Amino acid sequence: MDEKDTIVASATPLIPSAVGIIRLSGEDALQIGKRLFSLPEKVEERKAYFGRIRDREGKTIDEGLFIYFKAPRSFTGEDVVEIYPHGSVPVMKRIIGEAVHFGARLAEPGEFTKRAFLKGKIDLTQAEAIADLIEAKTEKASRVALNLLQGRLSEKVNRLRNSLLELISLIEAEINFPEDIEEIDFEEIKKVLKGVVEQIGELLKTYKKGQLIREGIKLAIVGRPNVGKSSLFNALLGYERAIVSEVRGTTRDFIEESLNIGGIPVKLLDTAGIRETEDKIEKLGIEKALEKVEEADVVLFVFDASEGLTEEDLKIYEKVKDKSPIVIGNKSDLLDKSEKKYYFKDVKDVILVSSKTLENLDQLEEKILHKLNLLEDSDTDVYINLRHYGSFKKAKETLEKVLKNIGDYRDRKEILMLEISEAEKALEEITGEITTEDVLGNIFGRFCIGK
């Protein structure tokens, strides 16, 4: 990728729509824009012009709007031109083709954002946040991405870095001017390092939850035949997706559908009822059901509360016990609650629901979120991703090593300084103060073209 080229791409998907956006970024953006669009001699920045979009022969392709964002006051920090034709696929393609004819190059995925990063308009956590925001499947995921985009993680990282940098300069001063400077208080160093380690620990804890919010959770419904798994599946989905019948063994293959529970993207799986059977196809379905249990973040184990617990239920429960499933007594509408039939062995918090009347389904959803610790959060929460996790972990481990042997550094202050710098550098990787082509390739390769 040559950073000097002027790049062009559609910023909107190429599907028929009212308006499309074509974006150019780079030194020649305005000059190319002028050839594409009928404009006055002097083009003002950040002003919308209405006019004709023309091809190389001056023939009109479409009419639309034109805006010029002069460097550095643009998304990429370079000269940017945006043209808004009608969102017609052939029109958009033709304009892009003409822009290339006039000297632009087709942008690679994420290249606009990469340029914004390289020009210092955004840091790496913010660039990642743009991809997260675009890909967000729920409102909650978009809110979490927005927090990163607004620099909430960068602020935290920079605060931690500053604490370390202050220590480094203090130690350095003492090394260089031992006569003029008071001897460093090692207790103070310990205190600062401990504080940093603690805060990094808190951030590390946010990784798992962040992953669930971004990527979603997998729920598998299991149980013996006819307890109402498919009915529960449909009830949670809100429509009749799976076949329900009083015949045991109705569901043969697993069914997977997406929904959203409390802002978390969910993949919900209905599986074949588990039982001893000679039926070849049903057997295969049962094997698959057990595989799905392994993959699930939460297992919903269903039994028929109106019949009470059976030997068959217990056998299946033994198979899935390790996943600490949520135990659901279904068909509560048929239950005489005074009979306490829904007592389930050693499981204390059986939840009674009715897939027919939808009784208690809200509580079930809440229980699922609670189980994954997804209930409590605030609008400003920051959740780190895997890349941040790696760097934070490296910083934390380095500092913990220093803390463990802090006494040994009294006569080796240079080493102490180096070790603290190493941790500080790990933190720099997060915001992208230090990067490699590999890291950039990974991050920007995730983007769609035009972003």
Ligand X SMILES: Nc1nc2c(ncn2[C@@H]2O[C@H](COP(=O)(O)OP(=O)(O)OP(=O)(O)O)[C@@H](O)[C@H]2O)c(=O)[nH]1
One of 10, 147, 234, 251 touching Mg ion (CB under 5 A): 251
| Cβ at position 53, least distance to Mg ion in Å | 56
Report, in Å, the least distance between residue 354 CB and Mg ion: 16
Kindly indicate which of the ranges 246-254, 304-312, 393-401, 433-441 contains the residues binding Mg ion, using the contact rule CB under 5 A: 246-254
Contact 270, 254 (CB under 8 A): yes
Shortest distance (Å) from residue 336 CB to ligand X: 13
Residue 365, SS3? helix
Closest CB to ligand X among residues 334, 418 = 334
Touching Mg ion, residues 200-239 (CB under 5 A): 229-230
We find the least distance from the C-beta atom of residue 355 to Mg ion, in angstroms, to be 11
For the chain, the maximum distance between any two Cα atoms, rounded to a whole number of angstroms, is 90
Least separation in angstroms between CB 282 and Mg ion: 11
The token duo for 120 is 């210092």
Q: How far is CA 367 from CA 90, 214, 252, 371, in A?
A: 50, 20, 28, 6
Q: Alpha-carbon distance 25 to 107, whole Å?
A: 9
Chain length of the chain: 451
Closest CB to ligand X among 62 and 282?
282
Binding mask 169-188 for Mg ion (x = CB under 5 A): --------------------
Residue in the block written with tokens 């920045």? 45
**Site of tokens 């983007």:** 447
Closer Cβ to ligand X, 246 or 438, answer by number:
246
DSSP designation for 450: T
Can you tell me the distance from the alpha carbon of 383 to that of 214, in angstroms, rounded to the nearest whole number?
Answer: 9
Amino acid at 282: E
State the pairing for strand pair 351-352/60-69: unpaired
- Is 104 or 353 the residue whose CB approaches Mg ion more closely? 353
C-beta closer to ligand X: residue 247 or 386: 247
Interface ranges with ligand X (CB under 6 A): 225-231, 244-246, 248-251, 272-273, 330-331, 333-334, 354-356
Least distance to ligand X, CB of residue 272, Å: 6
* Interaction site with Mg ion (CB under 5 A): 229-230, 250-251
